[in-house]
Chains A and B, each alone.
Chain A
Amino acid sequence: MNSHGTGEKPAASVKILARDVNVHYGDKQALNDVCVDVDDNAVTAFIGPSGCGKSTFLRCLNRMNDSIESCRVEGRIELDGESIHDRSLDPVQLRARVGMVFQKPNPFPKSVYDNVAYGPRIHGLVSSNQELDELVEASLRGAALWDETRDRLREPGTGLSGGQQQRLCIARAIATSPEVLLMDEPCSSLDPIATSQIEELIHNLREKYCVVIVTHSMQQAARVSQKTAFFHLGWLVEFNDTNEIFTNPRDERTESYITGRIG
């Protein structure tokens, strides 16, 4: 408990604000009027059945959908109060600020070191080899992978175990000092031990980052997130504190989904 102050919870600052987001793939509408405030220094989980639009929405947050020809995104998405669709904003710069980790670990076919050094090199974030060494070490430490790879930095990243590869991808994502980390089912191809390690990492990452995670595991959302959003058939059905969602959801559709009933 806070011994000074009013004892009230400080209002979390909103990192990402989305208003009336509609997404179409060709004629098919994938998302309808999604409005969300994503808190900074918190983990927000998106849950929902396959095809509900949660990954589509995640990919809107760093304009990953731009590369899909038929995809049309409407509505307002702001990062720190600035529209991410602003003409003056370079999507490459945006993706440096909003990093992404995918379902399957996808290290580059390079050494452990070069995987992490790749982003800082292309974005020109370091001016000397020593600085780069320090950044690689800090990123690997940040991804809880340093102790396991400090003697294997020159070995190929693809030679690591699945869980290590995923942490390598997280190290690669945080090497560019992003503000937001998007994770699309980061543990779905990992065993329970590696999953626990990633979850512990996610829990710690929120001290420095705004983390958004898409997951099919209800228990995972419950374990790692502070806020949970439930998507269904392209609609954001319910968005609330995670403990509320899992003890007393307000919407019948949320209740049916999370308790494993036929929707």
Chain B
Amino acid sequence: MIEKEHIHSAFDRDLHNLQSSVMRMGGLVEASIINTSRALADNDEELARKIVDDDQLIDGLESEVNLAALELLALRQPIAQDLRFVFAVLKIATNLERIGDYSKNMAKRTTVLLKTPPPNGAVASIRRLSHSVQVLLKDSLDSFAERDAEKAREIIVRDRDIDLMYNSLFREFLTYMMEDPRSITPAMHLHFMAKNLERAGDHITSVSEQVIFQVTGEMPKDDRLVEDTTSYEAVSMGAVN
């Protein structure tokens, strides 16, 4: 990676500011995921509502990034690595905004779960998945900040584990629902939360792909294994017992 400076120092400043905005956005999204998990564990309704409200900050930063990127394209006409950087930033910002939305959605479901307590152990399973996703997000943001394509490649591989965890949660929640129909409401909410986290993992993969493109100029081939097999799952009451 070239770390040489531009002859126009203001150009470097613009690029740096753009990167900072994306990192700030990433930090807010990461905090949102951590807080959602905490709100779920502590039955903290106030925190859950704050997460929902704070999503506006993420959306606001996304608009800020979009505008700054547009201005940079218009005023500086970046090319080569600079152009790839701006292109990557625009896509990464979109991905982060979506992850923020998933987290907000989870926070909303948390407020419902306060009224219909979920089965024992189910929350802990969600929290484990949430933690894995949050670490994955943190590492992908690091790979962006450090322009580290190798690290980004590892993240794409690690997203498979998220898919596998989601698959097993899917079965776990099905089992709860079959054992006790009263658990259907909380288990369904927990299942959607798990699905949100699995989708967040896919967006983190997309962030990592952008990092690889930005650094190497090559889009990674989409040959990764998709381990989420629940789309093909058919369940009969006899199958689980």
- Tell me the complex Cα distance, A262–B12, Å: 12
- Tell me the complex Cα distance, A255–B5, Å: 12
**Do residues B217 and A260 form an inter-chain contact, with CB atoms below 8 A?**
no
**Interface residue? B75 (CB, 8 A):** no
- Using A255-B2, A256-B2, A261-B2 as known contacts, say yes or no to A249 and B80 having CB atoms under 8 A apart: yes
Q: In the complex, which residues 1-42 of chain B have their Cβ closer than 8 Å to any Cβ of chain A?
A: 2, 4-8, 11
Chain A nearest CB: distance from B75 CB in Å?
A: 13
Q: How large is the interface on A (under 10, 10 to 19, 20 to 34, 35 or more residues)?
A: 10 to 19
Set A219, A248, A262: member contacting B80, Cβ < 8 A: A248
- Using A248-B217, A252-B2, A256-B2 as known contacts, say yes or no to A262 and B7 having CB atoms under 8 A apart: yes
- Tell me the complex Cα distance, A10–B217, Å: 26
**Do residues B82 and A259 form an inter-chain contact, with CB atoms below 8 A?**
yes
Which chain A residues lie closer than 8 Å to B2 at the CB level?
252, 255-256, 261
Which chain B residues lie closer than 8 Å to A125 at the CB level?
none
- Tell me the complex Cα distance, A219–B6, Å: 17
Set B4, B5, B217: member contacting A247, Cβ < 8 A: B217
Q: In the complex, which residues 204-230 of chain A have their Cβ closer than 8 Å to any Cβ of chain B?
A: 218-219, 222
**Interface residue? A258 (CB, 8 A):** yes
**Interface residue? A246 (CB, 8 A):** yes
**Interface residue? B120 (CB, 8 A):** no
**Do residues A256 and B4 form an inter-chain contact, with CB atoms below 8 A?**
yes
Contact with B along A226-262 (1 / 0, CB 8 A): 0000000000000000000011110010111011111
**Interface residue? B237 (CB, 8 A):** no
Provide the main secondary structure of the chain B interface: loop
Chain B residue with Cβ nearest A249: B80
**Do residues A262 and B79 form an inter-chain contact, with CB atoms below 8 A?**
no
Most-contacted residue by chain A among B5, B7, B218 (CB, 10 A): B7
Most-contacted residue by chain A among B6, B79, B218 (CB, 10 A): B79
- Tell me the complex Cα distance, A261–B84, Å: 16
Provide the main secondary structure of the chain A interface: helix
Set A246, A248, A262: member contacting B5, Cβ < 8 A: A262
**Do residues B6 and A247 form an inter-chain contact, with CB atoms below 8 A?**
no
Most-contacted residue by chain B among A246, A252, A258, A260 (CB, 10 A): A260
Set A222, A259, A262: member contacting B81, Cβ < 8 A: A259
**Do residues A258 and B80 form an inter-chain contact, with CB atoms below 8 A?**
yes
- Using A247-B79, A248-B217 as known contacts, say yes or no to A260 and B4 having CB atoms under 8 A apart: no
- Tell me the complex Cα distance, A50–B8, Å: 18
**Do residues B7 and A261 form an inter-chain contact, with CB atoms below 8 A?**
yes
**Do residues A262 and B4 form an inter-chain contact, with CB atoms below 8 A?**
yes
**Do residues A246 and B77 form an inter-chain contact, with CB atoms below 8 A?**
no
**Interface residue? B220 (CB, 8 A):** no
- Using A252-B2, A260-B8 as known contacts, say yes or no to A246 and B84 having CB atoms under 8 A apart: no
Q: Which residues of B contact A (CB under 8 A)?
A: 2, 4-8, 11, 77-84, 217-218
By Cβ-Cβ distance, the 9 closest A-B pairs, closest first, are A248-B217, A261-B4, A246-B79, A259-B80, A259-B82, A260-B6, A260-B7, A261-B6, A255-B80
Q: Which residues of A contact B (CB under 8 A)?
A: 218-219, 222, 246-249, 252, 254-256, 258-262
- Name 22 interchain pairs, CB-CB below 8 A, sorted by A: A246-B79, A247-B80, A247-B84, A248-B80, A248-B84, A248-B217, A249-B80, A252-B2, A254-B80, A255-B2, A255-B80, A256-B4, A258-B79, A258-B80, A259-B79, A259-B81, A259-B82, A260-B6, A260-B11, A261-B4, A262-B6, A262-B7
